[in-house]
Structure 1
């Protein structure tokens, strides 16, 4: 910590500003939905409370231009990465799309925010950690301390608090955020969300810290049993909460992330065996689910479809229909799409109606065309490639494994559209990709 404080004092004002902003975003975002809803309904206005993170990110982007234009070495070092070049192109494509296609102001602003905050915070984080080299425990604390808070609140929701207690803090289905979620409107089948904005965002958020925490349990087990026990309890609580979210996409993403992490952590001779075990496990699980398809557990928890009391249009059929509609939109406007904000969560603000594809990649295609989707996918692949090359580092491997899991989850939901996950994951990725790549730099701007 003393080393970090020394670096901070020696850094220039822009870097200090970026460091404070990065820390605030990482520590507060997991609680943003709760804070903004409570603060917005108590003090108001709600939109101001909801937008603080975007305002802060805009400030950080502007501040980051100072070292970008004054430090040639830093600029050349980061510009040598192809994903950074493509980020500029990706941002420019959004500008072209909004100028040519356009959209109404509110959905346009929200759409630009959702799509560009990922790459913007990733770029800001790279610039920041080009100069600052914090101890790994500080970076892990930025991830795990909020994670513990989210888990504690989530477990209280599951086992102690009334199901609608969030109404005490301004939650309302029609004006802010629904105070509780259920499967097919069954109050005995609740889906928990802790301090995030919903069960699916909670499930997706939990993937990375759970992978990191489980790895730390393994590492601490032989040398610090107390820490291992504490982390084991937190991890167990996180797993219980992940189950309580009833987010099937998050379950799948977590299983894939853990599988990738374990597979790349063992010697080569064990990898083929683990793959075989995994294939057999999937087949057995599929056979069991089919055999038990008529049970309440499979219908409610796995399929989210209770034929006795569920709606005529099930969650599963809605996913298929949404994807078909999205593909139709892309085929109709393949070059520039229908403009930022016309699809995905931003379309909730669009007077023309809600347009959800239940797939983040299709959402990008709807908004900025096929080229936009290809650019985003290539950026993801290039970042994944670098993280894979850094798999000897536990955090690098955890980020790579979670990226694979989240990549699959994004096929089923607008996972990257969630602000908490977007900021936390890409903030850590920006930190990671500049580690052991450039020597610590001081006072270059």
Structure 2
């Protein structure tokens, strides 16, 4: 009974969250549309499961006498400090209770999930492969449905309850019906692009690690599908920030793998390819695609206020607010949480988002958490999955300059959850490498 409560039950809870998070959006829309009274509870399903897992793991850590070891971990300390700061700011800068609860959930849930998976796998490292398997299965669901949307009617999701009152079944680029942006099973095109970024960087990292040595035909087909699916998802998201982040992430992992081995000839090839891309962009600058998708400045279908102007205005406003409010404006004072209060505010930059809510100290702690996490992943870069998370983490950090990327629960929980799998102490991540080697 003790093992069921302290090992099996936490594993089920954490794996359920990791598996179902890719279906979170259609789940809350379907339940909320058909049973409105359950809407609030279903939105918080993952947070409720995390709280139960937290209690059970606290008991397990206490029984094993592991608290001192865990609290010596600098990354855990930084995350605890970030959470405590949120509590202090909540007292000093009160907002409506609805905004506060939503703000705490949005700001802390992915860090809490990281800590839960990190601690659980430190205690029970044999479950690492299960998280990896479920992560891959989730990618198949998201990318598979993205491909299916290519042939389905654009508004097919309306039958699940998608609408302007919940989540739009699809949107277009610059109001141009020729460029339809799909959601797949995520909240919108930008989260889909960010998710596809993670998968695509993983495909490249795995390919560089094992390449043609993989003999298992199923592994080859899986790798090929994830490659094609992630490219399609990235494309149909029409998310410029995700495109930039993917390019940065791929260049990061390629540089980490081959940077020291590039001779003058290979550098010359890269220079020529870069030059061709620049020339190609210049030649296409007056095309409908370039003006609509890249510039969002179509003279025929553009909105009165284009997204570039809106991004710039949001960035300027967020920067001014950060400089004027070193202590922040309160947890839940921006983003979707602020919609529940009296002063809605959207800031399209994750760093300014954090600074607006918990001030300069909060921003410093958040950046420190990112740096420590990425440094630890870099230290394990010989493992393709660690390199994937390092490269995609750099890419997502770039996306964060243009969007509050970690606000999306699917993207944040998937990336931080997998980072915990890689970084958890105990057995190293060599189990996956051994499995891949056996298929070689």
Are 1:30 and 1:196, in contact at CA under 8 Å, matched by a contact in 2? yes
1:105 aligns with 2:97: yes
For the structure 1 residues 238 and 14, does the alpha-carbon distance in structure 2 shift closer, same or farther, using more than 3 Å as the test? same
Return the alpha-carbon distance in structure 2 between the equivalents of residues 425 and 229 of structure 1: 24
Q: What's the TM-score, normalizing by structure 1? A: 0.90
- Deviation of 1:87 after TM superposition, in Å, equals 0.9
Q: What's the TM-score, normalizing by structure 2? A: 0.91
Structure 1 match to 2:117: 125
Are 2:149 and 2:182, in contact at CA under 8 Å, matched by a contact in 1? yes
1:297 aligns with 2:289: yes
Structure 1 match to 2:108: 116
1:134 aligns with 2:123: no
Instruction: Give runs of aligned pairs for residues 377-392 of structure 1, distance below 5 A.
Output: 377-392=367-382
Return the alpha-carbon distance in structure 2 between the equivalents of residues 310 and 154 of structure 1: 26
- Deviation of 1:122 after TM superposition, in Å, equals 0.9
Q: Secondary structure at the match of 2:178?
A: strand
For the structure 1 residues 135 and 305, does the alpha-carbon distance in structure 2 shift closer, same or farther, using more than 3 Å as the test? same
1:193 aligns with 2:173: no
Structure 2 match to 1:374: 364
Structure 2 match to 1:68: 61
For the structure 1 residues 379 and 55, does the alpha-carbon distance in structure 2 shift closer, same or farther, using more than 3 Å as the test? same
- Deviation of 1:274 after TM superposition, in Å, equals 6.4
Structure 2 match to 1:414: 404
Structure 2 match to 1:91: 83
Segments of 5+ residues of structure 2 without an aligned counterpart are: 430-440
1:49 aligns with 2:39: no
Select 1:397's aligned residue among 387, 397, 410: 387
Q: Secondary structure at the match of 1:221?
A: helix
What are the Cα deviations for residues 335-381 of structure 1, in whole angstroms up to 9, with x where unaligned?
2x11011112322323212x122111100000010110010000110
Structure 2 match to 1:342: 333
- Deviation of 1:68 after TM superposition, in Å, equals 3.5
1:59 aligns with 2:59: no
Structure 1 match to 2:161: 170
Return the alpha-carbon distance in structure 2 between the equivalents of residues 271 and 126 of structure 1: 40
What are the Cα deviations for residues 117-152 of structure 1, in whole angstroms up to 9, with x where unaligned?
121111111110012223664332111111111111
For the structure 1 residues 279 and 375, does the alpha-carbon distance in structure 2 shift closer, same or farther, using more than 3 Å as the test? farther
Return the alpha-carbon distance in structure 2 between the equivalents of residues 35 and 312 of structure 1: 34
- Deviation of 1:407 after TM superposition, in Å, equals 0.6
Return the alpha-carbon distance in structure 1 between the equivalents of residues 264 and 86 of structure 2: 43
Are 2:15 and 2:131, in contact at CA under 8 Å, matched by a contact in 1? no
Structure 1 match to 2:433: none
Are 1:216 and 1:228, in contact at CA under 8 Å, matched by a contact in 2? no
For the structure 1 residues 273 and 392, does the alpha-carbon distance in structure 2 shift closer, same or farther, using more than 3 Å as the test? farther
Select 2:5's aligned residue among 7, 10, 13: 13
Are 2:6 and 2:56, in contact at CA under 8 Å, matched by a contact in 1? yes
Return the alpha-carbon distance in structure 1 between the equivalents of residues 233 and 348 of structure 2: 23
1:308 aligns with 2:300: yes
Q: Secondary structure at the match of 1:134?
A: helix
| Higher mean C-alpha displacement, 304-313 vs 175-184 | 304-313
Return the alpha-carbon distance in structure 2 between the equivalents of residues 70 and 271 of structure 1: 56
Return the alpha-carbon distance in structure 1 between the equivalents of residues 425 and 224 of structure 2: 28
Return the alpha-carbon distance in structure 2 between the equivalents of residues 275 and 134 of structure 1: 43
Are 1:26 and 1:423, in contact at CA under 8 Å, matched by a contact in 2? yes
1:181 aligns with 2:171: yes
